[in-house]
Amino acid sequence: MAKATIEEKQYLVRFRADKESHLKILDQTLCLEKCPDKPCTYFCPGEVYKFEGDRIQVGYEGCHECGSCRIGCPHDNIEWKYPKGGYGVVFRLA
């Protein structure tokens, strides 16, 4: 049996998004002025963080709840918590 590709596995992920974000950038100025590489825009498997204009936009609806941004931000500038009960990622097993 052939192994599933990452794209095929991603297709199995579903989300039940809350109206409020469970992720928060604490200081956008710090992102702009002190973080030239902006690693959050490439370590996040859900591509949640995007640098647009002069701000990091947070597409929390696509968060996989992997927790990487808790340790991946070099400035500890992301407040992370799990979504409220009943919301968040839903994994389906094929």
Binding positions for ligand SF4, rule: CB under 6 A: 23, 25, 30-31, 35, 38-40, 44-46, 48-49, 56, 63-69, 73, 75, 77-78
Closest separation in Å from C-beta 42 to ligand SF4: 10
Closest separation in Å from C-beta 46 to ligand SF4: 4
With helix as H, strand as E and coil as C, how does the chain read?
CCCCCHHHHHHCEEEECCCCCCEEECCHHHHHHHCCCCCHHHHCCCCCEEEECCEEEECHHHCCCCCHHHHHCCCCCEEECCCCCCCEEEECCC
Q: Which is nearer to ligand SF4, 8 or 57 (CB)?
A: 57
Q: Which is nearer to ligand SF4, 37 or 92 (CB)?
A: 37
Closest separation in Å from C-beta 28 to ligand SF4: 8
Structure-token pair, residue 62:
């696509």
